[in-house]
Structure 1
């Protein structure tokens, strides 16, 4: 497996990581509920990702819930010194495919302490708020996060599914270093946030990065993939890497074969013409 990664990004201006990372969500049961069906294989995938050059892994206390963080610790602890593990909090899980936003400061405080224990770390490198909860002012939701930063339990703070105004509001409470929003070749609703985060020096982490566009794009993607000797998934990832230098990718998979394919995207450099053709 190639270890060549298409350049790096400094999270918080400090921690340098390879831009092609790994998202742990698929290492759970159906509906992101329960543990990985094949736990030994899941551990192999995590180890293979790190061996292939991944030093940024994204998880959440709600994946399982809790099982994904435990799995990562079981597979990789004691962690390599350069590995950044990002986790998230702010959801209650009531069943498969069910996600209930919970910005109650008490819940957030418990989520942070729970993640620290499950990941077997004294400090979470990047803790992300899953969603703004309309039931609580975000200033209240983030209060225990600020406390955790001051206590040395959290190094950096990120947000998920937010617009620019929400980012600015959160920034008045605590320094924000990353934003994780839905973004891919097909769904570019958050273009403004991609541009804003780049201007602010924040990382932008697209979730669901592998959606490769509507049918009208498929022929174009296939043509460009053939030219590069690549798969359509690799082209979708390569497009994101080309889109902006602060984009960090976290494609997830439970398959060693797919992991190898995803990692190969780092070796593809799209020309300006290719990028422009896909961006139309």
Structure 2
């Protein structure tokens, strides 16, 4: 597995990560199957796993994904010394819906909850503010995050669903190593809103969430004739082509595709071997414009 630096930390992570979200939402696989997916990812050299306190069914199920990942890693018999788990806080799941909560008191509590869910023995590798809450300033919301870094609950900090201006404000409060915004063939905003360019310039890792379009769109990838043809030519899946396209967009990008089956993560990691020419990149850009 190819490696990338996590921001400017000097820490190496796998060039393809694993997104934990689908392992904990409605329709999630049985726990044993989910653990098999995570452990197979580790077998394949994946050392970066993305989670969140809100990856669960509802508020009564909070921290499900973090606990699942912690259990899978704990029970893993192979080398797990270099595994980096990134989690997030700042979203609530009332009755299964999604709502922002940047209340400093809540964030202070959920950071502690994530720390314990992930084992409670070492600092959270990367804690990301899930989405800015307009009811609280970024400075207010990140104050308890700065405290948690100081007290040893959090090692590194990232932000998610942030604009360039918001990233700059966050960095005035705490050191930021990563940005996680939506980016896929249907949503190419990071190319045009300055976020991707800013991450490149400032040596921040960019983690595209929903890289394959999410559960509602992923099956539609085959409808992009250019992508389907390239997949056939290179004898890989359309998913590999999209992940390779994202990786080729910038050296700071680390895709984090989700998986609910072992075969899915086995397929995704093949994307590191796929090379796209400038002409092929242009064809995909045009088809997804």
Question: What is the TM-score with the length of structure 2 in the denominator?
Answer: 0.89
Kindly state the Cα deviation for residue 252 of structure 1 after the two structures are TM-superposed. 0.6
Q: Paired residue for 1:164? A: 164
Aligned 8 A contact 2:179 2:205 in 1 = yes
Query: Do the aligned residues in 2 keep the contact of 1:9 with 1:245 (CA within 8 Å)?
Result: no
Shift of the 198–16 alpha-carbon distance from structure 1 to 2, 3 Å rule, reads same
5+ residue gaps, structure 1, are none
Give me the whole-angstrom Cα distance separating, in 2, the residues matched to 1:275 and 1:261. 21
With 158-167 and 266-275 compared, the bigger mean Cα shift is at 266-275
What does residue 117 of structure 2 align with?
118
Give 2:4's aligned residue.
8
State yes or no: 1:43 paired with 2:42. Answer: no
Match of 1:77, SS state, is helix
Please state how far the C-alpha of 1:241 moved relative to its aligned partner: 0.9
SS in 2 for 1:176: coil
Matches within 5 A, 1:218-237: 218-237=224-243
- Decide whether aligned partners of structure 1 residues 163 and 29 sit closer, same or farther in structure 2, where only a CA change above 3 A counts: closer
Of Structure 1 and Structure 2, the greater helix share is in: 2
Distance 1:72 1:7, change over 3 A: closer
Cα 1:256–1:78 shift into 2, 3 Å: closer
After superposition, residues 201-240 of structure 1 pair within 5 angstroms as 201-211=203-213, 218-240=224-246
SS class of match (1:245) = coil
**In 2, Cα distance between the equivalents of 1:249 and 1:136?**
30
- Provide the residue aligned with 1:265 in structure 2: 271
The offset of 1:29, in angstroms, is: 3.6
RMSD over aligned CA atoms reads 1.8
TM-score after normalising by structure 1: 0.92
Gaps of 5+ in 2: 57-61
Residue equivalent to 1:27: 23
> Aligned-pair distance for 1:276?
1.7
Q: Which residue of 2 aligns with 1:103?
A: 102
Count the aligned residue pairs: 271
